[in-house]
Amino acid sequence: MAPPKNTNLKRLMKKILPRKLRHFLRKMQAAGIIPYIPVLPTPLIDTLIKKYCTGKGLEIGPGKHPCCDPKNTLFLDKHTDNQDGAPNADIVSDASQLPVYDCYFDFLFSSHCLEHCPNTLKTLYEWKRVIKPGSIMFLVLPHGDRIFDKHRAKTDLEHHIRDFQTLTDKHDYSHVDEIKEGWSKNEDFEELKKQFERDWGFQMWDFESRVEHDVIHYHVWTQNEVIDVLKYIGLKILYVVDILPERDDSFLVIAKK
């Protein structure tokens, strides 16, 4: 019997399976040990991108594995030369200062980027500025209860408003103490520390280097806190998913300008 076909399989494997495991499965298939790699369902994010991300769009912070179709999407990243950066970004810019005309895009997509921006409201107002009225802002974000930030307090709307009123262009080190306290409570902290220092080449608590590379979560949230912020800047909530089947550390919110 011929193996079932799935045009999304290769892309899905790249997203959710470690490189070594993907390589191992391909070798097993080539050796005839397994007849085919099992077909998995189309990821929910891909399904929703096809539905909501139409027209001309912008993906912010795509890194090395963008989610949107390059045929109708420009990719913007601040970093192009570190391990999380996008080496072939169409636009190199900070996420809170977009060199783009007002109302230029039909959709804006971002995955696991907003938490790395110190001034959430300033950043979201800028993202709202560059999309047309009636257009989509599509956010995939880490869920504060299901990642290494789980021992940190959630960031409420009042905190974001205060940041918007008081933060300047200087680096924000105001979260350093609570980050240290929260992360140190993780059961696997020592393992995470060794892995981080191996990957990035600087110390876990070297916050100057963290800020330079934007390897820091300034804020912690669930979908509830993010919905409050999006409503505050005048967006209408269209779709919310608490936990994504292909990425259980994340939630998803789709809003409309």
- Tens of pLDDT, residues 27-61: 666 676 655 555 555 689 999 999 999 999 999 99
pLDDT at position 3, please? 41
State pTM to two decimals. 0.84
209-255 pLDDT per residue, tens: 999 999 999 999 999 999 999 999 999 999 999 999 999 999 999 99
Decide: 120 and 114 in contact? Cβ < 8 Å.
Answer: yes
Edge-to-edge strand list for the sheet holding 105-111: 91-92, 73-77, 57-60, 105-111, 131-142, 250-256, 236-241
Q: What percentage of the chain exceeds 90 in pLDDT?
A: 79
25: confidence class by pLDDT, cuts 50, 70, 90: low
pLDDT band, residue 131 (cuts 50/70/90):
very high
Question: What angle in degrees, to the nearest 10, is found between the helix axes of 157-166 and 223-232?
Answer: 50
pLDDT in tens, 187-210: 999 999 999 999 999 999 999 999
Residues in the chain: 257
Q: Which residues, including other chains, have CB under 8 Å from residue 86's CB and lie 6 or more apart? A: 61, 62, 63, 64, 66, 75, 77, 79, 80
CB 147 within 8 A of CB 250: no
Report the pLDDT value the prediction gives residue 193, as an integer from 0 to 100. 96
